[in-house]
Amino acid sequence: MADSPDTQVGVLHLHTYFFFPFSIDKPFVAGNHPESWKNKTSWIDGVDDWILAHHRNDSAIVKRLGGWKRAAYTRFDMESPAYQDMVFFHPFVRRVFFDTAGAGGESLLRVYCIPVDEHRVFFEADDARGRQARLQVTDLRMFVFANGIGILSLGVEAYRLTAREALWINESMRKVYPSSSRQFREGRFPKRIALTMEEGGSVSTLAEENFQDCAGMIGFLPPLASTITSLLYFADYAKGEFEPVLDERMIVYTYAAIDPTTVPEGYEATEDYRILISRFLYIDRWGDDYRYDRYFIRQQMLRQLYTRWAHQGTYYGATSYSNVTVCLGNFDCDEHQLCEGFLIHRMFDGRYYLMAIVALFYRATLLHFAELSALVSRTLYIDQQDDKLTIENIKLANDLRSEFLHFANYWYFDELANKEEEIDHFLLQCREYRTDTMKHEIEEEVEKLNASLHNYFQFRNTEAVNRLAMLSLIFGAGAVLTGFFGMNFSREFAAVLFEGRRDPWIHYTAVIGVAVIAMGALLFGFYVVAANWSDYKLILLPKKAGTARLPAPDPPEDNIPKA
């Protein structure tokens, strides 16, 4: 990275994962690619085929790197990553959040990777002020959950750089679309973002975005960088097969080992170190002081920093857009020997990474539920304008409730591990994501929606019972009258009403009157059923197969970017 030379705090090792959460429109995707879900019992079972079917496209990612491959755990000995990752979590968490094909059943989760060990892949960015960075991509992973939430994980590493460079990398390279054109001119957004590959001394471009041909919004969706859409090549962003869950920034999950030779002795206890930590925590660029008001920042950091190991210079922190690990150098951690690998980095790249993925999955899912709840409420509100709720929209509400119950009962855990430090880390991240608060809010919304539908159906049932009582009274009165008329009376009664020998007009008048009453009762019954056919057709007509889907506005044709 090019920058003005100065006496900077050095960073021995920067390891950053950029997390991009996205939401897949499950019914829409399954409808667009029916061959992938043919003979499949659930949506998640067709995801492998869906991704594999796109390995034949002309994407540079697929051509040069091979595309996404299933990365389920298959080895479980003590030297395997599966054992070392899973052993720290509760058994029920292992069953839910680990893709372990062939280990007693599959979870409702799929993990994929693009192998980059045999290639030299780089993530590059530069801005209008001449600042630039080029970091090697060391990990490409993707998590797809059965509820349609996905998380793209792009891992980059760099060694021996300055804190100024490390901070610029985290702040600038997390951007996926600009919020305005001013960001380019002011250097707050890279003018170029690219994935490149170095092979045989030559560099080729896998994906590049400069936003020069940016067409603006695609319906309600922003113009997502091609570095993201190229990695999600199996889903058509312009058609709305997926959408970003968060804003223009990816979540930054980062590890920074400060070079102890570039800082004075006792640096871990200084205010300068806490200023540097605040810059990493809030994903700010380099500065000699706190980015914001000192009192405000200090109060925030009391809540957002985990300081169990602060006496060794190791800090953990979390905000709604970051998760950071900052330490001073590499050293033996008690009986954990450095020759076995630096413990703090191992934890960052292992169990804490997985907990960060789970916490982000919770947040993305709850935000997705908030959107679904609003859309379902809108459709029901429009229906209620006509005082009629369609069965399709009622099914949407029931599907929302069942999906939320499944999330709350199957996916959501307050505690993932039984060790105190792991619990503290996970709760810190969830607290910053407001997952517990959001879960309770959405739970209340879903229950209120369900109560509203229950009241609606109770009212309609009361109406139906009243109609039935009225019809029974009318039919009953007609039955009594016609039955009385048809009784076997004799003598004068029969001669006048049945035989019509004395006064024929009385006989015909009685016949007509009784017929009118009987036919009127039947016609009125048919009218009541026809007028309220929506209440009766569900029990008379066979059920139709299919999945209800929320309507989405079509993007304007001139806003769809060219491939």
**The pLDDT value given to residue 270:** 94
Q: Interior CA angle at 48 toward 46 and 51, to 5°?
A: 105
In 45-144, where does DSSP find H-type helix?
47-53, 60-65, 81-86, 91-97
Token couple for 217: 């919004």
Token couple for 290: 């706190």
Token couple for 480: 């009594």
DSSP 328-344: ES---BTTB-GGG--HH
User: Picking from 3-17, 136-150, 395-409, which range would have the lowest pLDDT averaged per residue?
Assistant: 3-17
User: Picking from 226-240, 381-395, 461-475, 490-504, which range would have the lowest pLDDT averaged per residue?
Assistant: 490-504
Residue 3 pLDDT exceeds 50: no
**The pLDDT value given to residue 550:** 57
Once rounded to an integer, what is the mean pLDDT over residues 390-413?
A: 87
The winner for highest mean pLDDT among 74-88, 257-271, 369-383 is 257-271
Task: Give the 3-state DSSP-derived string for 408-449, with helices as H, strands as E and coil as C.
Answer: HHHHCCCCCECCHHHHHHHHHHHHHHCHHHHHHHHHHHHHHH
> How far apart are the C-alpha atoms of 184 and 210, rounded to whole Å?
10
Once rounded to an integer, what is the mean pLDDT over residues 49-71?
A: 86
> How far apart are the C-alpha atoms of 18 and 5, rounded to whole Å?
27
In total, the chain counts a number of residues equal to 563
Q: How far apart are the first and last CA of the chain?
A: 31
Average pLDDT, the chain: 84
Tens of pLDDT, residues 282-324: 999 999 899 999 999 999 999 999 999 999 999 999 999 999 9
Spatial CA neighbour of 20 closest among 184, 259, 232: 232
**The pLDDT value given to residue 561:** 39
**The pLDDT value given to residue 262:** 94
User: Picking from 175-184, 421-430, 432-441, which range would have the lowest pLDDT averaged per residue?
Assistant: 175-184
In 282-349, where does DSSP find H-type helix?
294-304, 343-349
Please state whether beta strands 251-258 and 322-328 pair in parallel, antiparallel, or not at all (unpaired). parallel
**The pLDDT value given to residue 291:** 92
Torsion angle of C-alpha atoms 86, 87, 93, 95, degrees rounded to 10: 60
Q: Fill in the amino acid letter for 274.
A: R
Residue 451 pLDDT class (50, 70, 90 cuts): confident
More confident position, 532 or 313: 313
**The pLDDT value given to residue 202:** 87
Residue 558 pLDDT exceeds 60: no
Residue 459 pLDDT class (50, 70, 90 cuts): confident
> How far apart are the C-alpha atoms of 335 and 211, rounded to whole Å?
51
Residue 553 pLDDT exceeds 60: no
User: Picking from 102-116, 213-227, 345-359, 464-478, which range would have the lowest pLDDT averaged per residue?
Assistant: 464-478
Q: Interior CA angle at 559 toward 34 and 194, to 5°?
A: 85
Residue 537 pLDDT class (50, 70, 90 cuts): low
| Beta bridge mates, 556 | none
Query: Which letter does DSSP use for residue 333 in this model?
Result: B
Enter the pTM of the model. 0.83
Once rounded to an integer, what is the mean pLDDT over residues 87-98?
A: 88
> How far apart are the C-alpha atoms of 291 and 282, rounded to whole Å?
9
